[in-house]
Chain A
Amino acid sequence: MATQPVASRKAYPDVPLFRYDYTDLSIEEVSRRLAAPVLSGPQGLEPSVDLAGEYLRFRSEDGPSVDFHFNAEMRVEVSGAETAYGALTLDHVTLVALMMPHSVRGYALAWDRHDNRATLIELWFGDGPAPTAREVNREVWHGYIDTGNGAPEAELHAPTARCEGRACMWAEDTGNRTIDYYPSSAFSHWVELDRMAEGRGYSAPSDYIKLTEDLYLYTRTEAEFSGLWHMYVMDANRLESVGLRLGFNGLDELEYYMFRGHGEWLGQLARFQTFGDVSGDPLAFEDAERGERRIYRPLRDWDTMTEAEVDAAMAEHGAKVFERASPMAGHGLPPSDGLSGKSFTIHYDGGPSMEYRFTSADALQWRENGGGWTTARYNAWQNMPGVFIFGHYLQGKPDHDGHIVVADLETGKATAFRGYLNTPYFANEAGAETWFGKLEGEGIPDPGEDRHERTLDLLGRAFTWSYSPGLTSMHLYSSPNTVSWIIFTPSQHGGAEWSGSGDYVKIRDELYFVRWQEEACNGTLGTILINMRTMHDSGIGYHMGRDGLSMSPVGAYARHAGRIEGVLPYLTDKPGGTSV
């Protein structure tokens, strides 16, 4: 296995976040790093709202009762202790943030001054449920500020699906800009435009809370990465926000600041809940402990293997190539026998020449650069006339290569995604390369120098996929090198979301060859050929596990969920915005 590169220590790494080795800070270290900054309150460029003289008694049905007694000089008494606070107002909602002195706990309070409805978010480090001390825990309580008249008549703030599908670019007064996608009601996806050089998107568990018809509260916990907590109250009409960022960056520096943001509307995707269903928090579960929620932690749950373990598993189980039906292809096209009897060579630019004889509908012979012939099992699908996607395993390759090829017999162009194991990070994690080439064979035209090309046609676009009854997802093509996927709940809310490196190749008009790698996740290389005219795809998954390597079909019905067109100006030329 190749030597793992050592990433330089940076507040915002120049490697993908899932490759960065965040320090496992102890709770003592967290406490030490919090001690002094807490006493001066959250930093910020905009002067804080002075709440001196206010006495806010937060009350909720099931949550805590917390009294905030605001004094002069930006001090507040809470639970018998005095600390510093910050406050920013967005229209009629004031966001208050504070950390308790000599502790690792704090609060964020969104207070609607019009009707005294309020949402209190408890914040703490350590003591779970987050698995590391550096990851911020939060618990959300909806209630009101008690003025002696009891609870307000209006419905309290509540989780909502009303934000689902939208995307905005937010520019903080700090100068930091992010593209925030809200394709789920429980997760979100963001792209750092300034803090990180690479235009890659990441996914995180999120809260979406409706305060008013205009105002919504959003949070994300950058779990599995830094553990930073980012939140803001946003005005969906005016595209203004006030927010708080809390946690430790890649240099373990505390970020504890409030900001005002200005947004740019980038577009929106369709929602798929039943008409009238705007309920939120679709992944909630009963009897959750304080702060507990469903946080997808793919790396922690993934069974990683060493190169020796991969070799042993391959020796014992070998490669299973299209051996059985897959739930990922229940709605897929049947394999095609259209290549049977054909033979051709693919000359990859800067890569090998792969010669093929297709001896039957599921058997081929291949040889590389004129070497010896090897027989292999394959499957092929023709999901646009004249265009085939086929895949096979290359027995004998040290990194257990699998080739997934799109061959256009009418243009003579071919593109392959080469999947391989033994990445520098995990031996059973699939790496991938994209090879462009041309076909040579009887009746196949010579494309000359023309090749398929990478494309931005799919950038910002989303498709839902129905693989089998009940097994569905949505793809969000969020950056030029990121594919994100969202799992629907039974109520068709967007639920869990994750993402990985992606690459996009245009084969023909409305026909695209896409791959994604589930790095530091499930290790799979997913490949699909998307036909936007039939709204059907055909593809191949390449996966290594304890029971060997598998190449299995992927096929699903598509629905077009829309396109966030506004991202193009921000991501088209983003450094690193091409495939990796």
Chain B
Amino acid sequence: MTTRREALKLGALAAAPVAALAPAAALAGDDNAARLARLEDERAIADLVKGFVRRFNGSKDCAAFVAHAGAVRIDPQVSAIRHDTAHDPQLSFAEDGRSARWQSRAEVDLVSAFDGDTTMEKMARFQGQGSASARTSRRLAADLTRTNDGWTISHVTLA
């Protein structure tokens, strides 16, 4: 039997611990089965978010991780997401355990393509600068929903 810590290490993004904020009612009575189920949920969600980020940084085709096409609300300038290990992710569950919210800090690479018709962009292109990149800190927030097949991302933002 794995410990909670070990379980999280298996799935947490970049091995960061998840601070799970469970409603008191959900774990009432010190029910070991419920606790185990919760740990499995935490690991599944961490795996899901980790997989989403990996896919976002790769092919960008995140369809397998989200509930619908409009779930991803991320600035198109974002080219890569890296977990900020200085901050623990936060995970909270709804009372009924059917949904959850993930929040973590991330370092985000932004690439601005200078493809517009403003004079500044035209002159940047003239100089051979088709784009610019920058790195900034953002908050990754994902709303998650439990389905018959497991957890899925219903809404994810970087703010």
Which A residues have a C-beta under 8 Å from some C-beta of B? Answer: 283, 285, 294, 296, 301, 326-328, 330, 467-471, 473, 485, 487, 489-490, 495-496, 498, 518, 521-522, 524, 526, 541, 543, 545
Contacts and interface: CB of A to CB of B under 8 A. Distances in A.
Given A487-B127, A496-B126, A327 B117 contact: no
Given A296-B123, A471-B112, A487-B124, A327 B131 contact: no
A470 B131 contact: yes
Nearest to A524: B119
Contacts of A489: 127, 129
Nearest to A518: B119
Contact of B122 (A283, A294, A330, A522): A522
A374 B130 CA distance: 41
B129 A327 contact: no
Given A521-B119, A522-B122, A294 B127 contact: yes
A468 B116 CA distance: 13
A487 B26 CA distance: 58
A301 B117 CA distance: 12
Interface in B120-139: 120-124, 126-129, 131-134, 136
Contacts of A496: 123, 126-127
Interface of B: 110, 112, 114, 116-124, 126-129, 131-134, 136
Given A326-B116, A327-B120, 6 more contacts: A467-B120, A469-B133, A470-B112, A471-B124, A495-B123, A522-B119
A285 B129 CA distance: 12
Contacts of B121: 327, 471
A33 to B, nearest CB: 32
B126 A296 contact: yes
A232 B18 CA distance: 67
A1 to B, nearest CB: 22
- Say what secondary structure dominates the interface of chain B: mixed
Nearest to A552: B118
B120 A470 contact: no
A418 B52 CA distance: 49
Given A495-B127, A496-B126, A471 B120 contact: yes
A326 B117 CA distance: 11
B32 to A, nearest CB: 50
A218 B133 CA distance: 33
Contact of B114 (A296, A471, A521, A541): A471
A18 B11 CA distance: 64
B118 A327 contact: yes
Given A327-B116, A328-B118, A524-B119, A470 B132 contact: yes
B22 to A, nearest CB: 36
Nearest to B75: A325
Contacts of B119: 485, 498, 518, 521-522, 524, 526
A4 to B, nearest CB: 23
Contacts of A526: 119
A490 B123 contact: no
A327 B128 contact: no
Nearest to A550: B117
